[in-house]
Amino acid sequence: MLKQLFLLAASGFKTMIGGQALIEGILMMGPEKRSIVIRKPDGELEVKTEPRKALKDKYPFLALPLLRGVVNFGSSMYNGVTALMYSAEFYPEEEQTEEPSKVEKWLDEKLGSEKLTGAVITLSVVMGLAFSVGLFILLPTALGGLVVRLFPGCPVWGRNLAEGVLKVVIFLLYLILCSKMKDIRRTFQYHGAEHKTIFCYEAGLPLTVENVRKQPKHHPRCGTSFLFVVIVVSILLSSVIFSLVEVENTFARMGFHLLMLPAIVSITYEFNRYVGGHDGAFCRLVRTPGMAIQRWTTFEPDDGMIEVGIRALTEVLPQVEGSDCW
């Protein structure tokens, strides 16, 4: 299967179109438009397509290397959370029967529904980022400090190694545990539908359920792989920094990790951009770990999910053929 995947990736062009799995749906981001397609409880498709607004169009300097990584990462998170909240509206956990609280009424009165929604989305992005940084960056740093206490005289490289191993282990455990949850697993099936649809498009085949079904579900330019590379880059960069500047205090090390985050995201983005656009032996090698962990984040979709992926991709195809080339 891995060999088939690399052959497919090399045979057709590589598109910059990418997506995200939602609750019973898929978000697709094209060069000109973004589309959200949801499979409603009644089986019908809800389609929401709108022009894609990019900060780089208003501020061209944000498209410069090392700046664009942070901007695109933040934009992707915001768009992803917005789409996820939109998809959740079609599948409420329970009917709202209680009256809005005084706080909710006050916020709605002061901000208005549109501003309130924007504030909630922004808060969700901040909380999601804080959770990710806390779980995958700060927690391993704190546990690394415990290792030093348990083993006095531990060398600098030993602490760096301990923190690096903990980052990878916590990240993998998180993905594995998520994949075991029934609702999350179904979302990961839509993730598979997104990958298969993009592969079919890149191979130059008609976007039919039959053609999409045959494609691999693991994609070399998946966002999960990007997150894994973020972890690896943070390990390498922090190892170099803390080898040159000895920092023993755990909270000081946490502070250094936070300061390094923009650089980590920027370097990772540029690295993935290069690796994703080339198919040499080196690029295939460094893509392998990211492809391997997709076994926990991407599952085989059913035909209904594939239909959602096809519709979402079709909605964002560019007017000029090839203008979405990676």
Reported as a single tens digit per residue, the pLDDT across 36-53 is: 999 999 999 999 999 988
Q: Does 70 score more than 60 pLDDT?
A: yes
Question: Can you give the length of the chain in residues?
Answer: 326
The confidence score (pLDDT) of residue 280 equals 84
Would you call 20 helix, strand, or coil by DSSP?
A: strand
pLDDT digits (tens, 9 = 90+) for 164-175: 999 999 999 999
Which helix (H) or strand (E) covers residue 282, if one does?
helix 281-292
Identity of the amino acid at 237:
L
Higher pLDDT, 283 or 99: 283
Most confident among 69-83, 132-146, 294-308 (mean pLDDT): 294-308
Q: Which of 153, 160, 155 is nearest to 240 (CA)?
A: 160
Contact 198, 223 (CB under 8 A): no
Residue 129 has a pLDDT of 80
**Confidence bin at 115 (pLDDT 50/70/90):** low
Q: Which residues contact 258 (CB under 8 A, 6 or more apart)?
A: 133, 137, 138
Quote the pLDDT of residue 298.
95
pLDDT value at 196 more than 90: yes
Where is mean pLDDT largest: 8-22, 45-59, 171-185?
171-185
Residue 293 has a pLDDT of 93
Question: What value does the mean pLDDT of the chain take?
Answer: 86
* pLDDT band at residue 113 under the 50/70/90 scheme: low
**Lowest model confidence (mean pLDDT) among 61-65, 69-73, 91-95, 112-116:** 112-116
Q: Which of 54, 82, 48, 15 is nearest to 312 (CA)?
A: 48
Best-predicted range by mean pLDDT among 89-103, 139-153, 268-282, 304-318? 304-318
What confidence score (pLDDT) does residue 8 get?
46
Residue 47 backbone phi and psi in degrees, to 5: -120, 125
Tell me if 218 sits within 8 A of 284, measured CB to CB.
no
Residue 118 predicted with pLDDT over 70 = no
Give the model's pLDDT for residue 23.
94
The pLDDT of residue 317 is above 70: yes
